[in-house]
Structures are given as C-alpha cells and as structure tokens.
Amino acid sequence: MACCSHTADVWRKLKQEDLLVLTEYSKMEPKGILNVYTNYDDRQAEGTELDLYVGIAMEEPMPDRFKTRFDVLLVEASTWGVFTTIEKRANEPQYTWARISSEWFPVSGYEMTDGPEMLIEIEGRQTAANDLHMSCWALS
C-alpha cells in the first residue's frame, strides 16, 4: 500500500480548527485522529488507488452543525486485529501492513476483509525524537 505521500497531502490540507473539533469529539476506542484507508483497487499493489478519511470514531450521530463540514464513513461493528509498532520513517507503515498481510493473517485463522484499515499515531509515546508509535487496525 503506497499511502504515505497521499496521507501527507491530506494532512497538509486540514485546518487546525478541524483537528480541534475532531479531537473534542473523540471519546471512544480507537481514540484520537484516525487515518482510515478504504476502497482499494488492489490492496496489495504498490501505488494502488484508495480513499483516505482523516477522522474519529463516533457512536452518536454527528452534530448537525458539522454535517456540511465532515463526511461520514459508516463502519459496522467487527473483529479487528490491532498491531502496535514503532516506525522510524513516515513510509514504514506500508511495510508493517505488508507483514501483517503476509505473516500474521495466514497463520491466525482470520481473513482480511474488504473493510477499511486504520492507522493511528499513539500520542505521547516516543522513545526517540523521530520514532512514531503507531497502532494498525486491520478488519478481520
């Protein structure tokens, strides 16, 4: 999955005000700002087309005042494989996803579904200046 340059472009376009609103309403797991990848042409192919949502998990309906400002991606309750990792560079999550797909799923008894994948930066957990603590959520 070649997600990172596309992800960086989306994040650059976000307004600080939008991030503050999203953070305020992030009250359920997974908490925090989510990168949600969905609608893949081919999940395994480098450079594949996909949709990226930057948002939060919510149980309640979105407040009316935000309905023209944010899109909603409905995700049914499901079983998720959650993998925590430390990344040194922004492009490493794609290699983590590749390992999850090629090493964990074949021996786990679970199958990857067509649902979305989520990537979440875990705030306040840096071991070195450039380390990113990430949580990868795979729908299984």
What pLDDT digit, counting tens, does each position of 61-119 carry?
Answer: 888 888 888 888 888 888 888 888 877 766 667 788 888 889 988 999 888 887 888 88
The pLDDT value recorded for residue 44 is 59
* pLDDT above 80 for 124: no
Which has more pLDDT, 119 or 43?
119
Q: Are 87 and 131 in contact (CB under 8 A)?
A: yes
The pLDDT value recorded for residue 2 is 38
The pLDDT value recorded for residue 107 is 93
The pLDDT value recorded for residue 131 is 63
CATH architecture of 4-139: Alpha-Beta Barrel (3.20)
* pLDDT above 70 for 133: no
Which has more pLDDT, 83 or 139?
83
Task: Tell me the average pLDDT of the chain.
Answer: 78
* Positive/negative CA dihedral, 24, 28, 29, 30: negative
The Cα 137–Cα 96 span in angstroms is: 11
Q: Are 73 and 38 in contact (CB under 8 A)?
A: yes
Which is nearest to 18 in space by CA: 36, 33, 38, 37?
33
For the chain, the straight-line distance linking the first and the last C-alpha, in angstroms and rounded, comes to 17
* pLDDT above 80 for 6: no
Q: Please tell me whether the peptide bond between 116 and the residue prior to it is cis, using omega within 30 degrees of 0.
A: no
